[in-house]
Structure 1
Amino acid sequence: MFRRVLAAAAAAALVLTAAACGGDDDTAASGGKPSKIVIGYQQIPNGDLIVKHNKWLEQAFGDGTTIEWKLFDSGGSVNEAIQAGSVDLGLVGSSPASRGISSGIKYRVPWIFDVIGEAEALAVKGGISDVSQLKGKTIATPFASTAHYSLLAALQKAGLDAKSVKVIDSEPDAILAAWKRGDVDGAYVWNPVLAKLLADGGKTLVTSAELAKEGKTTYDLAVVTDEFAEKYPDAVKTWVAQQDKAVKQIKSSPDEAAAAIAAELSITPAEAKAQMDDLIFVDAATQAGDEYLGKGLPDNLFATAKFNQDVGQITTVRDEKTYADAVDSSFVK
């Protein structure tokens, strides 16, 4: 709780420096091109890290635009930064995106980084072989994340609720430290931390890929503030084009893609490639269809909001059209 209070205080302070974002008039370069774009990223083995490592955005925008990358631990933290006005574009999971839309954050989804498969899972220590055995155990996960959402879905399926399991809020790096100290019995988290837990004797109890088969699909999504998207639509198109380039590299030159991701995560290319294989990547042309940005994702965000309300994570669910309107397929088209 104390960490969340600090985060909220920091977010409030960031409002004072919001002028650093590209959406502000005083930072706009001539010709409607932003002089600065602030991007909130996470250490997830997907195309965003390829774009960052290869400096494709810097090359695409040229000297007239500064690209600032800010690292965040989870989608909940990215939401806080966007509310504070300190980020233009960011990576959040589908559950944080759904929460953000439900709470009235003025942003939209222009891109799907990946569909989360086995890259996110519930890892537990020895002696636990079924979710039902988690009663009375301590399980860590970053609150308001896709992992948190999936953990709650897994508990619900097993007939447990968050009160019968000690679910604690912890960011990925802190989860690894708590695991090594023996402070937790398990954790629902994503790669690269998930891989480290499994390498340290953990075993997978349930994956997000398994939950997706039961209608609880999760995604890593891009969000862009409405202000930035409306003021700089060409800049968003340019950003999407670089992300699409990364997806195509993952599919056509996986070794090259893995090398870039490995450098960003300080792991080996082989480890990066294995972690990439646990995610599903979709190019722009496919994302434009009904299965993804056209209908599938809007439906998913609305269903996710209703689930989060059912399990007591949020109090308000907006009308279905609000979630549909928050998904913008115009940029991938």
Structure 2
Amino acid sequence: MSRVPQGPSRRLLLAGALAAASAAVAGCSSDGGGSSGGGKKLTIGYFGFPSGDLIVKNGKLLEKALPDHTITWVKFDSGASVNQAFLGKSLDIAALGSSPFARGVSDASPIPYKVAWILDVAGDNEALVVRKDTGVSDVAGLKGKTVATPFASTSHYSLLAALESAGLKPSDVKLVDLQPQAILAAWQRSDIDAAYVWLPTLDELRKTGTQLTSSKQIGAAGKPTLDLAVVSDDLIARDPKAIDAWRKAQAEALRLLKSDPEGSVKAVSAELGISAADAEAQLAQGVFLTPEQVTSADWLGTDGNPGKLLSYVTDTAKFLAGQKQIDTVPSADAVRKAFYLKGLPDVLK
């Protein structure tokens, strides 16, 4: 058995970030889709994951709102790589899971970014699946098995929570750190018994696996995870109006998910290179808030009044510290300082 290693030190993260900053970090790729704006530039990190982010990208909503900006979209595989890129100062805005965000602010020298939006709440689009041929039917049955997940991700956090709830310690299973595509390859080779991962890889595992739990169930039990969007401190100081425009674009995407489901499916299908049927099924597994819900006291909050996300991030950090994933738990004040709520909700009008 192997215990999950403690999260990498800030020094190691910084070294990795600086080594990869010139290419916006290993594990990500630019799709070459940038606007032909003027002298101002924005580099945005995103995931190949069904959300309003893909609608903003596909519809060029931000490019239309900021014609004087050159906008480059860079695809990432995990939150750990996003954190490295922010340390290397190669990102302005990016999608980031609530667990890697909690890690990012849990240090004496926190990563220089702030949460500015909520993309979605993890539902059945992140889940723990076990190979059918193992005969395992519940989480407790994973004892002694090899389980893969991308370390420092929301799936990693949810996996640890699932194990704890089932009475297992991380050392009771063999945890393996793999990115989604590597998880699929290892699954097909029968190198792993189970995996906690997100769409679209998750759907591939379900074809020959049994789902044991999901982030929707774990969230309902008190440990929710979310896909957030963060902005660099440098962008806040340099170009706050671009953040306002970006928030408006994200709010429009959330409205389109409700008002134009067919168009939303088409956009996600095009961005992910999957069929409309698959895109529709994947979108149905996510939990997408309305802009009004995002800025409510139940979630992100408004200027001067952070919502419940403040306690969610703090609780996540406490849990990660208890699991020896991070060294220290940030104070509520430190987490509050990592929120950028200026102008909310008025900037969405």
Q: Is the 8 A contact 1:284 1:332 kept in 2?
A: no
Q: Is the 8 A contact 2:14 2:88 kept in 1?
A: no
User: What code does the residue aligned with 2:270 have?
Assistant: A
Q: Is the 8 A contact 2:255 2:291 kept in 1?
A: no
Cα 1:311/1:195, change in 2 over 3 Å: same
Task: Provide the secondary structure at the position in 1 that maps to 2:211.
Answer: strand
Shift of 1:271: 1.1
CA deviations 1:292-316 (Å, max 9, x no partner) are: 0122101100000000000110001
Q: Is the 8 A contact 1:110 1:224 kept in 2?
A: yes
User: Separation in 2 of the partners of 1:40 and 1:136?
Assistant: 37
Pairing partner for 2:126 from 107, 112, 120: 120
Match of 1:92 in 2: 96
Pairing partner for 2:341 from 325, 329, 333: 329
Instruction: Indicate yes or no: 2:76 matched with 1:72.
Output: yes
Runs of 4+ with deviation above 4 angstroms? 4-10, 14-18
User: For structure 1, which segment, 151-160 or 4-13, has the greater mean C-alpha deviation from structure 2 after superposition?
Assistant: 4-13
Cα 1:207/1:156, change in 2 over 3 Å: same
**How many residue pairs align between the two structures?**
316
Q: Is the 8 A contact 1:122 1:186 kept in 2?
A: yes
Match of 1:221 in 2: 228
Q: Calculate percent identity across the aligned residue pairs.
A: 45
Matches within 5 A, 1:130-209: 130-199=138-207, 201-209=208-216
Match of 1:107 in 2: 113
Task: Provide the secondary structure at the position in 1 that maps to 2:279.
Answer: helix
User: What code does the residue aligned with 2:193 have?
Assistant: D
Gapped regions of structure 2 (runs ≥ 5) = 25-37, 302-306
Cα 1:15/1:274, change in 2 over 3 Å: closer
Shift of 1:57: 1.4
Task: Provide the secondary structure at the position in 2 that maps to 1:117.
Answer: coil
User: What code does the residue aligned with 2:116 have?
Assistant: P
Shift of 1:17: 8.1
Pairing partner for 1:47 from 40, 49, 52: 52
Match of 2:27 in 1: none
User: Separation in 2 of the partners of 1:291 and 1:14?
Assistant: 37
User: What code does the residue aligned with 1:125 have?
Assistant: R
User: Separation in 1 of the partners of 2:209 and 2:69?
Assistant: 45
Q: Is the 8 A contact 2:51 2:120 kept in 1?
A: yes
Q: TM-score w.r.t. structure 1 length?
A: 0.90
Shift of 1:60: 1.3
User: Separation in 2 of the partners of 1:34 and 1:226?
Assistant: 20
Task: Provide the secondary structure at the position in 1 that maps to 2:106.
Answer: helix
Shift of 1:213: 1.1
CA deviations 1:180-205 (Å, max 9, x no partner) are: 01110010000111011112x11110
User: Separation in 2 of the partners of 1:163 and 1:214?
Assistant: 23
Cα 1:168/1:331, change in 2 over 3 Å: farther
Shift of 1:285: 2.3
Shift of 1:252: 0.7
Q: Is the 8 A contact 1:110 1:332 kept in 2?
A: no
Task: Provide the secondary structure at the position in 2 that maps to 1:292.
Answer: coil
Cα 1:9/1:327, change in 2 over 3 Å: closer
Shift of 1:329: 2.6
Gapped regions of structure 1 (runs ≥ 5) = 19-32
User: What code does the residue aligned with 1:319 have?
Assistant: S
Shift of 1:34: 6.6
Match of 1:23 in 2: none
User: What code does the residue aligned with 2:54 have?
Assistant: L
Instruction: Indicate yes or no: 2:326 matched with 1:314.
Output: yes
Cα 1:193/1:15, change in 2 over 3 Å: closer
Match of 2:313 in 1: 301
Cα 1:284/1:165, change in 2 over 3 Å: same
Cα 1:92/1:193, change in 2 over 3 Å: same
Match of 1:240 in 2: 247
